[in-house]
Amino acid sequence: MKRLLILFILPLSLIGQNIEQIFSGKNEIYFSFDYKNKQELDNLSKIISLDHKTNKYTAYAYANKIQFNNFLKRDVKYQIINNNVYYNNISKNNWDYYPTYNQYVDMMYAFADSFPQICKIHSLGTLNSGREILIINISDNVYQRENEPSFLYTSSMHGDELTGYVLMLRLIDDILNNYNSDSYITNLVNEIDIWINPLANPDGAYAGSNNNVWGATRSNANFVDLNRNYPDPQDGPHPDGNPWQDETLMFMGLSDTINFNISSNLHTGAVVANYPWDTWPQLTADDNWWRHVCNEYADTCQYYGSSNYFTGFDDGIVNGYDWYEVDGGRQDYMNYFKQCREFTLELSNDKTPDPLDLPSFWNANYHSFYNYMEQSLYGLRGIITDSITGLPLEARVEIVNHDMDSSHVYSSLPIGNYHRYIYQGSYQFTFSKNGYHSKNINASIINNNITFLDVQLVPTSFVSIKEIKTQNKTTESIDLLGRKNNKTIKNLKINLNNDGSITKKIIIE
């Protein structure tokens, strides 16, 4: 196989050239510049898209024409970098290739066709280019909602960051083909509602043509960086000044429909587990939990990967804001607005590595892929119901003197199940919902273990039921608080009949 890397660094004399010449035949450019301090870097990050190669001395960035015009107003010296990689004579064995767009689509639909009992494909929508945003759902009861956490992997929202693209396809294949033969994978499928989207930006990945990833771009077809296009906890709904892109709306719609509990979005350009926050310097309420799960990911990669893999930064992990500020990122959106624990996973220094290297990245990461998926089963979990009717509730779960910055979670309908991930220790949990009495319960958590806690909430106001049947078959008027003629009912049992009526059996104190 032949691999050709084109790397041209254009001289500083180009600074004064016409911007139309710089963008001739391009919708975005890649460039570098030196900066004085983190404050300057954070300010510039609001008008351009910083790249993961950024270090303490030199920044690397992408910009479309409007962004670059704004950057030029800052009078910062820069260097244009043309960094293109393409491949020919591709081998298609052992997952060591980048599929064409049509091969990708065929592969995704073939997964669902081959494993219909545990695999279902969804199209989140079709872009103006005609390309689809596809996602696979894997579960032992794929057509039914269960008392399970919902887990999401999504890759390559930057179209030229493609290591995760192939690795997610291989992960789907590995799960499906090992179900009922590997007990560990079988248990994950049986206990977790798994969602995997290998390619979140097909227009960027196939910007050159559907036949290969030559010419892949970071941005989408509208020259927008999708990882700056989400609502931001600090900077509001449109921090990048762009309308929400179709890709953004599709994933926001998905997160509105599926209440994901844990997720990760996969990138390249560095090797590190980047945990929240990205947009502001304060730490999350669960910073120690994030360090625990990210260290677990990195440590496992160090064990199975090549020398020095996942050893940079703080032994393979980094707080996002400490690295550089990102506003409008998917990670912060999911954590703050959707109460989903998501971190950003950087898999390779090369954005689109030699496809022959993809098997080695798989060998280094697949144990960690499964470990992080398994984390969705741990922590405090249970079902919240109405104490009178037994019906499931969508209620708030909050940790006293701990939660902040939207770190609480909610139980999810139609099951009423909740999942609160927290570093080991003893905590007081508050369960609350409008129209119900709040309930405080103490519980202890052990890392990488499950604590089960089902909760019943008592309503604060009740609708009277005029016609009911009691033990002596007389017609009574009893409200749902459990009172009759100002006397307390000692024992109250309620049955919901098939015809919609309620049968009560009462014993008056």
Assigned CATH topology for domain 2-86: Alpha-Beta Plaits (3.30.70)
Dihedrals φ, ψ of 101, to 5°?
-60, -45
pLDDT-derived band at 348 (thresholds 50, 70, 90) equals very high
Tell me the mean pLDDT in the region 310-333: 97
8 A C-beta contact, residue 264 and residue 167: no
Question: Is 346 an active-site residue?
Answer: yes
pLDDT in the model for residue 58 = 87
* Catalytic residue, candidates 132, 346, 374, 398: 346
Tell me the mean pLDDT in the region 207-231: 96
Tell me the mean pLDDT in the region 411-440: 98
pLDDT-derived band at 500 (thresholds 50, 70, 90) equals very low
Q: What percent of the chain lies above the pLDDT cut of 90?
A: 71
pTM of the model: 0.80
Environment class of residue 495 by beta-carbon count within 10 Å: exposed (0-12), middle (13-18) or buried (19+)? exposed
Contacts of 116 by beta carbon, 8 Å cutoff, 6+ apart: none
Helix (H) or strand (E) segment spanning residue 331: helix 330-337
pLDDT in the model for residue 89 = 36
Q: What CATH number labels 90-375?
A: 3.40.630.10
Dihedrals φ, ψ of 411, to 5°?
-75, 160
Domain boundaries, the chain: 2-86, 90-375, 379-457, 462-509
Taking the CA atoms of the chain, what radius of gyration do you get in angstroms?
26
pLDDT-derived band at 25 (thresholds 50, 70, 90) equals low
Sheet containing strand 150-155, edge to edge, reads 119-126, 132-138, 193-197, 150-155, 262-267, 341-348, 270-275, 317-319
* Whole-number average pLDDT of the chain: 87
d(CA 358, CA 268): 13
Q: At what angle do helices 358-375 and 287-304 cross, to 10 degrees?
A: 150
pLDDT in the model for residue 9 = 40
Please count the other Cβ atoms lying within 10 Å of the Cβ belonging to residue 327: 20
pLDDT in the model for residue 375 = 98
77-81, 102-106, 298-302 — which is least confidently predicted? 77-81
The token pair at 293 is: 């799960």
Tell me the mean pLDDT in the region 202-228: 96
8 A C-beta contact, residue 505 and residue 470: yes
pLDDT of residue 216 exceeding 60: yes
Q: Which residue has the higher pLDDT, 80 or 168?
A: 168
Helix (H) or strand (E) segment spanning residue 443: strand 439-445
pLDDT-derived band at 93 (thresholds 50, 70, 90) equals low
Q: Which residue has the higher pLDDT, 189 or 20?
A: 189
pLDDT in the model for residue 345 = 98
d(CA 276, CA 287): 8
pLDDT in the model for residue 473 = 42
Assigned CATH topology for domain 379-457: Immunoglobulin-like (2.60.40)
Instruction: For residue range 284-321, list pLDDT tens digits in order.
Output: 999 999 999 999 999 999 999 999 999 999 999 999 99
d(CA 36, CA 34): 7
Tell me the mean pLDDT in the region 362-375: 98
pLDDT of residue 103 exceeding 80: yes
